[in-house]
Amino acid sequence: MIILSVESSCDETSVAITKDGKEVLSNIVLSQIDIHKVFGGVVPEVASRQHVEHMTQVFSEAILKANITIEEIDFVAVTQGPGLIGALLVGINAAVAFAYSHDKPIMGVNHLFGHIYASQIENEMKFPAVALLVSGGHTELLYIKDHYQIEQLGSTLDDAVGEAYDKVARSLGLPYPGGPVVDKLAHTGKDTYKLPRPYLNKEEFNFSFSGLKSAVINLVHNAEQRNEKIDVANMCASFQESVTDVLVDKTKRCAAKYNVKQIIVAGGVAANKGLREKLAEQIKDIEIIIPSIKYCTDQAAMIGIAAYYQNKIEPAKKDYFIKGDSTLDINQS
């Protein structure tokens, strides 16, 4: 089964060809980071225009690199949401046009399911599992009973963890995206600032990162007013310690409560070295799978892998009215 998949929910224009829900024949990712960096974050209108400019070229490269003919493609899959609505619509329109003109079935895929299924590329998912999904837009703990049987156990009540990383980085004068920079600096600093561990002692599996983010911003602001210097590396280390304490502790408790066979960590923040180290240190009795960094951040291969399993439940159709949805949540799919 060969799937052509498209991802354009944020600032990566990506098309992939995947085989049998496992093999990645090609995964072309055109990142717009350098363009958005100037603005300190993703500008939705700029993102949509960049997708329009590059989508056709990314399609051609993905097919060429996979060394397949268009006839061999069984169906097309495209990220439906959540994401930036204008950006999503570019990918959806391109995917629909391709599917329609080549008479292929098509399906819309939830971006978050894509992040979870990125784990299947280099590992085998085992059920029941708990997934910690941490990205720029989401922070979720999910119970996965079986393929495509996913239930939300907890979520962030305010900022997503990646968003908190990006805003903390910005307040420290670090470039966008802040996550990788803070992660790197954290390894050169020490946990010296006394930052809160939000929701750590609460029984529930929800998260809250806006108070922690504000604590850093306030410390930076107060230091500026007093003409004092913030130790950036130590602040990064303190923030990262606080975030990873909360994420790891909740994941550990959640996995124990639901007696799972596996913990899946997914999304852009799953690239975080501090998080990976702490998970390995603190959870030794349950298998943890985390995609390699190139499959943690946004790309179309993950959409193709999710689509393979989605197709077993609800096959792709020659119905060309895929709707973009910026709020499509995990329980609605």
What residues make contact with Zn ion under the rule CB under 5 A? 135, 298
Between residues 21 and 180, which has the closer beta carbon with respect to ligand KG4?
180
State in angstroms the smallest separation of the CB of 165 from Zn ion: 14
Give the distance between the most distant pair of CA atoms in the chain: 67
Q: What residues numbered 3-22 form the site for ligand KG4, per CB under 6 A?
A: 10
Contact at 8 Å (CB) between 34 and 47? no
Burial of 158 (0-12, 13-18, 19+ CB in 10 A): middle
24 in a known ligand binding site = no
State in angstroms the smallest separation of the CB of 301 from ligand KG4: 13
**Residue pointed to by tokens 């690239």:** 271
Question: Does 179 engage in binding with ligand KG4 (CB under 6 A)?
Answer: yes
Residues sharing a CB contact under 8 Å with residue 16, sequence separation 6 or more, in sequence order: 4, 5, 7, 24, 25, 26, 27, 28, 62, 299, 300, 301, 303, 304
Which pair of structure tokens corresponds to residue 37?
């960096």
Q: What share of the chain is helix, strand, coil (3-state, %, to 5)?
A: 45, 20, 35
Between residues 63 and 142, which has the closer beta carbon with respect to ligand KG4?
142
State in angstroms the smallest separation of the CB of 302 from Zn ion: 9
For the window 119-138, what string marks contact with ligand KG4 as x by the rule CB under 6 A? Answer: ----------------xxx-
221 in a known ligand binding site = no
Question: Does 189 engage in binding with ligand KG4 (CB under 6 A)?
Answer: no
166 in a known ligand binding site = yes
Residue 178 touches which member of Zn ion, ligand KG4, none, C-beta under 5-8 Å by kind: ligand KG4
Q: How many residues bind ligand KG4 (CB under 6 A)?
A: 19
Between residues 119 and 272, which has the closer beta carbon with respect to ligand KG4?
272
State in angstroms the smallest separation of the CB of 19 from ligand KG4: 24
Please state the separation of Cα 283 from the chain's center in Å. 22
Which of 108, 162, 189, 324: binder of ligand KG4 (CB under 6 A)?
162
Which of 8, 18, 238, 297: binder of ligand KG4 (CB under 6 A)?
297
State in angstroms the smallest separation of the CB of 221 from Zn ion: 30
List 152's β-bridge partners, or say none.
Answer: 142
Question: Residue 108: in which H helix or E strand, if any?
Answer: strand 106-110
Question: Quick one: which segment of 63-71, 93-101, 124-132, 161-169 binds ligand KG4 (CB under 6 A)?
Answer: 161-169
State in angstroms the smallest separation of the CB of 2 from ligand KG4: 25
179 in a known ligand binding site = yes
Between residues 19 and 294, which has the closer beta carbon with respect to ligand KG4?
294
Helices (H), the chain: 33-37, 44-66, 85-101, 111-117, 119-122, 161-171, 178-186, 210-225, 232-257, 273-282, 293-296, 301-313
Task: List residues near ligand KG4 by CB under 6 A.
Answer: 10, 135-137, 162, 165-166, 177-180, 183, 267-269, 271-272, 297-298
